Structure 1
Amino acid sequence: MVPRTCIVLLFLLCSFSSLATAFLNLTLPGQHPNPEEVVQEVHRKVNASLARRQMLQGTIKYQDSSCLTGNPIDDCWKCDPNWPNNRQSLADCAIGFGQYALGGKGGEYYIVTDSSDDDAVNPRPGTLRYAVIQTEPLWIVFPGNMLIKLSQELIFNSYKTLDGRGANVHIVGGGCITLQFISNVIIHNVHIHHCYPSGDANVRSSPTHYGYRTKSDGDGISIFGSKDIWVDHCSLSHCKDGLIDAVMGSTGITISNNYFSHHNEVMLLGHSDDYLPDTGMQVTIAFNHFGEELVQRMPRCRRGYIHVVNNDFTQWEMYAIGGSGNPTINSQGNRYTAPSNPNAKEVTKRVETAEGKWKDWNWRSEGDILVNGAFFVASGKGVEFNYEKAYSVEPKSAVLIDQLIMHAGALGVGGRDNNLGKWSSGSNGDGNGLGSGPDYTDDMSGSSSRNNPLPLSSTSTLFSFFISLSSLHAFHNEKIISGFNCFYIYIINVSANLVHKREDREDIRAIESAVFCFRLDEMSSLEHLHLTLRAGFVQHLKGLKVLSEEVMNHFEVTNLNSNVRLGGQNGDEDVPY
């Protein structure tokens, strides 16, 4: 008979052996078994969008379209003229390792009506914090420009989309966004900046749980042990720690179409060199603009597979891409513009690692453009073999960068910077969202004339003013005030004699837009509704200093239904961004 102690010992040895094997051959939930296939699919989608754009050039359809950019993400949703009524189709547009992020697709719409954040344990219905902690899928939208000053880190639950299209939404303050042990989150078209450490306080993370949080790092977006995450068309700057950090076994992430500026340590991917689960981290970094006054970490990688494709690096102070712990870095079709400092021309940096160790790391540069003396130090034995599968679809050259990243950052007026004009605090807000306080205004642009109107050419075109019923139907529960109907309003083709072009406006076809929500049962008549809509939008435009006083008298309400033109004529229907 085998002694019992031996049986127990054999059992323990077998158990620990399997655990050790699993740890050394780690596969994270959400990790793709063949990352080169994902790389190949990214190139296929870019090539398809560019081919479609080239095929339609010179045609009437191309001339009338603002959507055919060649950027597969933007073309996916912008080419749908009805996207304001079909917002959730955005979830089908991601590429790369984060392409399976569902966000709040299939869930109800939640309209943020209150910009305040004065209670992190018991947030009020209508606030952003109340929305992100819910357990069910939610597609979160904003009825107008809004500044949300966080009191503590904003802890998300799974299956949430933050959709800031049609508004200028700024998130600042304590902690900022935390994605911890969750999945399926989309963050789209918001400004995230001036985030500082918070904590030593209780914070709610779900409707049934709140707990004590220690001091946070002050990241713009902190991704911790999470998967299926997509961050798209955001403008990020001025945070205490990283703008985006992903650590502790996070994977399935796409970071696309963002504008990064005014920061030291931009992006960290990986917890530490010794944390083996981060070997399964897979991140796509595509179509981003790494802009002014950045220092380092674009990104800084520890372990994992990082695909850096079709980004524009306009400057850095120390280095652009760094790493340690043997990460795989696949750089394709990027433009790297080195600073004037002769000692900072190298794109890459192996952090605190001797050449004898990093010479076998797989770091590859393919189709990149190196400007102003920039140089990329590649490494790795058998690199050609490791990247062989990506060759079947050739990556697009960096000569197309200007086209692919032309709309990087938050969309709309002032999309590429985080200057604050006049922002709405929303109903029931505490008023902190109004104005541009000194703590949250970027004064690094070197110009105070940004809001001064600049004249356009003298060519006159009639303007068209549209109202369409939005799909933002109100909830019939406490999450949204019941009985509201929302109207999406935007202007296209505005008279050059009456409208001033703002300094940062890239496309005057869509001058401004807004969403207004009303209780229809409080409107005494259709005329009352017309006048309320008109007055609200005119006030909105005055606050942004977009239109002159003369144009205010040119609004004529003629009808109202699901798709109605107000004033003007011969305007082509379009979407604002």
Structure 2
Amino acid sequence: MASPNSLLLLLSVLVYCLSTSFAHPLKQTRNKTLPSYIPRYPRPSNKLMNKIDSCWRANPNWASNRQALADCSIGFGSGAMGGKNGAIYIVTDIFDDPINPKPGTLRYGAIQTKPLWIIFQRDMSLVLKNELMVNSYKTIDGRGARVEIANGPCITIEGASHVTVHGISVHDCKPGKPGMVRSTPDHVGHRVGSDGDGITVFASTNVWIDHCYLARCTDGLLDVIHASNGVTISNNYFTEHDKVMLLGHQDGYTADRIMKVTIVYNHFGPKLVQRMPRVRYDYAHVANNRYDEWIMYAIGGSSDPTIFSEGNYFVASNDPYGAKEVTKRETHEGKGYWKNWKWRSSKDVFVNGAYFVQSGWGYSSPLYFNSQSFDADAGSLVPVLTSDAGPLQCHVHQPCLSMIM
């Protein structure tokens, strides 16, 4: 007859095996949609959230009031309403027809003239047949699903206003071919072919790009050009690319003088070469972003832009021969020409010999309206404030969490 101690040991082993068999499938289910391409960094369990995330992420009922997100942006693009006052449109079909999109597809929702808040029924990987034209008053909201637009032409926001793109992955984008593309229910026009950007903002206003992943596109990852204005780019994760972000079309295009862009809480990850951003003419407030080992330069520009770098965290390469300077000016007029350009650094943190070359004089802080204004935190807090950059893991009835818990 077995002793009581032996029976107790056998019972303990049995309980452990049963609990393990139930726990493992649950863990696999929760991790099934986690992207493996976004590295994570150690952070405290009660970590500080940045101002945008603290506005909405802690609410477990986010899914029943998705449109509350529209009130959480800051900076020049804080007025972007997206589809706040419109109906919920659910993407159910990954098929794409650039000329005659059918209901249930992403393109059908994106081209409508009425405001729409676009969400996704399930995890989806979309390969578009030509560039996606996003009309005014649209929010593309990837929360609750893993949504990728990749391996084909990607997103164009042209001549539009009040557009928000949140929580999706845009990567490995290819040039679009010349051809007919529908931009509204009533208009099909000939497109000359997109350049292979991840997201292009062209002659548009009140645009917010938040919590997206962008990598490895043919041209730029995110370009804001042709007198676009009122743009906030926040909480995004950028990696593995050469020309990351362009603000301003070209040196002779003076209409870009009206452009004002806020770049905040982004993580510029490894294997990025340049343009984080590259600025022409316009004003860029670059605040509380993390930069990891740029290959050529981090922040650059030409044509007398104003750049205010505030509370960023710049980590240069460990390689003693690697790039250390954050800034790069491009001009044909000689070195002295750019000394009047207002490029300022305040509260920035510089690691591994990184340094910022300042220039110009006079007031350089952003002239925000009260509704746009925010206080940039000290650069030392940036590793925590940007630790959840990129798409989040969102489950119904639970707060949205970072991808690695």
TM range (shorter): 0.7 to 0.9
Q: 2:146: which partner in 1? A: 168
* Partner amino acid, structure 2, of 1:369: V
Residue 506, structure 1, aligned to residue 382, structure 2: no
Compute the displacement of 1:81 (Å).
Answer: 2.6
Matches within 5 A, 1:355-370: 355-370=335-350
Q: Comparing both structures, which one devotes a greater share of its residues to helix?
A: 1
Compute the displacement of 1:505 (Å).
Answer: 5.1
Residue 219, structure 1, aligned to residue 197, structure 2: yes
- Closer, same or farther: CA 338–75 of 1 in aligned 2, 3 Å: same
* Partner amino acid, structure 2, of 1:379: S
Q: 1:318: which partner in 2? A: 296
Compute the displacement of 1:260 (Å).
Answer: 0.1
* Partner amino acid, structure 2, of 1:80: N
Out of 228, 234, 240, the residue aligned to residue 218 of structure 2 is 240
CA distance in 2, matches of 1:171, 1:228: 22
**Matched-pair contact (CA < 8 Å) for 1:151–1:173:** no
CA distance in 1, matches of 2:227, 2:246: 13
CA distance in 2, matches of 1:262, 1:322: 18
Residue 121, structure 1, aligned to residue 99, structure 2: yes
Compute the displacement of 1:83 (Å).
Answer: 1.1
CA distance in 1, matches of 2:266, 2:209: 11
CA distance in 2, matches of 1:341, 1:347: 15
Q: 1:299: which partner in 2? A: 277
Q: 1:411: which partner in 2? A: 392
CA distance in 2, matches of 1:111, 1:187: 15
**SS of residue in 2 equivalent to 1:86:** helix
CA distance in 2, matches of 1:123, 1:84: 27
Compute the displacement of 1:144 (Å).
Answer: 1.3
Out of 111, 116, 131, the residue aligned to residue 109 of structure 2 is 131
**SS of residue in 1 equivalent to 2:387:** coil
> What's the TM-score, normalizing by structure 2?
0.83
Out of 168, 183, 190, the residue aligned to residue 190 of structure 1 is 168
Q: 1:441: which partner in 2? A: none
CA distance in 2, matches of 1:301, 1:332: 16
Residue 80, structure 1, aligned to residue 59, structure 2: yes
Q: How many residues align?
A: 355
CA distance in 2, matches of 1:116, 1:201: 18
* Partner amino acid, structure 1, of 2:357: V
Compute the displacement of 1:277 (Å).
Answer: 1.3
Residue 93, structure 1, aligned to residue 72, structure 2: yes
What fraction of aligned residue pairs are identical, expressed as a percent? Answer: 52
CA distance in 2, matches of 1:489, 1:327: 45
Compute the displacement of 1:215 (Å).
Answer: 2.0
Decide which moves more: 251-260 or 166-175: 166-175
Q: 2:185: which partner in 1? A: 207
**Matched-pair contact (CA < 8 Å) for 1:191–1:234:** yes
**SS of residue in 1 equivalent to 2:224:** strand
CA distance in 2, matches of 1:387, 1:263: 30
Compute the displacement of 1:328 (Å).
Answer: 0.3
Q: 2:327: which partner in 1? A: 348
CA distance in 2, matches of 1:234, 1:411: 9
* Partner amino acid, structure 2, of 1:373: G
**Matched-pair contact (CA < 8 Å) for 1:322–1:348:** yes
Compute the displacement of 1:70 (Å).
Answer: 3.3
Q: 2:354: which partner in 1? A: 374
Which contiguous aligned blocks of 4+ residues in structure 1 show a shift greater than 6 angstroms? 489-492
**SS of residue in 1 equivalent to 2:172:** strand
* Partner amino acid, structure 1, of 2:65: N
Compute the displacement of 1:202 (Å).
Answer: 0.6
> What's the TM-score, normalizing by structure 1?
0.59
Q: 1:563: which partner in 2? A: none
**SS of residue in 1 equivalent to 2:114:** coil
**Matched-pair contact (CA < 8 Å) for 2:136–2:162:** yes
User: Rg bigger for which structure?
Assistant: 1
Q: 2:382: which partner in 1? A: 401
* Partner amino acid, structure 1, of 2:388: H
CA distance in 1, matches of 2:140, 2:258: 27
**Matched-pair contact (CA < 8 Å) for 2:313–2:382:** yes
Compute the displacement of 1:491 (Å).
Answer: 11
Matches within 5 A, 1:12-51: none
Q: 2:4: which partner in 1? A: none
**Matched-pair contact (CA < 8 Å) for 1:247–1:270:** yes
**SS of residue in 2 equivalent to 1:342:** coil
Compute the displacement of 1:175 (Å).
Answer: 2.3
CA distance in 2, matches of 1:125, 1:389: 43
Residue 110, structure 1, aligned to residue 89, structure 2: yes
1:397-451 deviation per Cα after TM superposition (whole angstroms, max 9, x unaligned): 11101221111011129xxxxxxxxxxxxxxxxxxxxxxxxxxxxxxxxxxxxxx
- Closer, same or farther: CA 255–491 of 1 in aligned 2, 3 Å: closer
- Closer, same or farther: CA 388–286 of 1 in aligned 2, 3 Å: closer
CA distance in 1, matches of 2:165, 2:366: 33
Matches within 5 A, 1:382-397: 382=362, 385-387=363-365, 395-397=376-378
| Structure 1 gap ranges (5+) | 1-61, 414-465, 467-487, 493-503, 508-577
1:429-486 deviation per Cα after TM superposition (whole angstroms, max 9, x unaligned): xxxxxxxxxxxxxxxxxxxxxxxxxxxxxxxxxxxxx9xxxxxxxxxxxxxxxxxxxx
Compute the displacement of 1:254 (Å).
Answer: 0.2
Asked which structure has the greater RCO (Cα within 8 Å, sep 6+), the reply is 2
Matches within 5 A, 1:535-574: none
